[in-house]
Amino acid sequence: MDARHAQYLYELGITVWQRRELLNDSRLSPSDNTDISSASRETSVTVMDWPALEQAVKACTACGLRAGCTQTVFGVGNRRAEWLVIGEAPGADEDKQGEPFVGRAGQLLNSMLVAIGLQREQVYIANILKCRPPGNRDPKPEEAELCRPFLERQIALIQPRLILALGRIAAQNLLATDTPIGRLRGQVHQLHGIPVVVTYHPAYLLRSPGEKRKAWADLQFAVRTLKDGHA
């Protein structure tokens, strides 16, 4: 089945069954979701190409956040990037512009990337959630779970050599853990065989500039991780 076909079926809410071993390893939700419409949705997403995926994100109303935000924020950057940077959710600026990390935190993220020799355009940037939660509250677990197939498909399409998780919410969701961020830093985690390195969220660093030294150490650790061939 091609991606366009999958997209039609997805929009019709039709279940597409595939043998598990034929699925990309992006069959993703950490939970054992037995709801049929949700299972169908996830399975369709696993075969989408970029245009179909972008369309599916735009059309998604699964968790209810879409009703309260201006637009979806899909992700931006090099679709063949070695580095995939994952944040939490769009804020007010991102909701307005339709692009992740464009506000003050985004400017700091750009500087963090430049510090390790990367331009924003070289990496891919996405979030756990594609829609802005009201008042910038933390994503709810059910919102993150419903949005997860989209991120998983992005990961599968990009096949990055390293994932950089920004902040507690991104790290804990990606790694399906409630371990505090302080203990997730400084280790190489794995997601579908891709190394994951955790650092502080740039918005937190703006509030706590004294922690920037730790973030710098994390970035250097991520660079070393890639060089040492954990990927």
The site for ligand URA (CB under 6 A) is made up of 87-91, 94, 100-101, 105, 127, 203
* Closer CB to ligand URA, 135 or 229, in the complex: 135
- Nearest-approach distance from CB 34 to ligand URA, in angstroms: 30
- Nearest-approach distance from CB 35 to ligand URA, in angstroms: 27
- Nearest-approach distance from CB 18 to ligand URA, in angstroms: 32
* Closer CB to ligand URA, 204 or 216, in the complex: 204
Question: CA-CA distance, 198 to 182, in Å (whole number)?
Answer: 9
- Nearest-approach distance from CB 167 to ligand URA, in angstroms: 7
Residue 170 tokens, joined: 């991104």
* Closer CB to ligand URA, 53 or 86, in the complex: 86
* Closer CB to ligand URA, 42 or 99, in the complex: 99
Q: Kindly give the pairing relationship between strand 194-199 and strand 76-77.
A: unpaired
| Phi and psi, residue 109, nearest 5° | -60, -45
Q: With CA atoms as reference, report the closest residue to 166 among 150, 185, 149.
A: 185
| Phi and psi, residue 50, nearest 5° | -60, -50
Residue 172 tokens, joined: 């804990």
The answer to whether the CB of 176 falls within 8 A of the CB of 75 is no
The answer to whether the CB of 123 falls within 8 A of the CB of 113 is yes
* Closer CB to ligand URA, 105 or 162, in the complex: 105
* Closer CB to ligand URA, 6 or 69, in the complex: 69
In the chain, where does DSSP find H-type helix? Answer: 3-12, 36-45, 50-59, 92-97, 104-115, 141-158, 167-175, 181-184, 202-207, 212-227
In the complex, residue closest to ligand URA by CB: 87
Q: Residue 169 pairs with which residues in a beta bridge?
A: none
- Nearest-approach distance from CB 72 to ligand URA, in angstroms: 12
- Nearest-approach distance from CB 104 to ligand URA, in angstroms: 9
Question: CA-CA distance, 74 to 55, in Å (whole number)?
Answer: 10
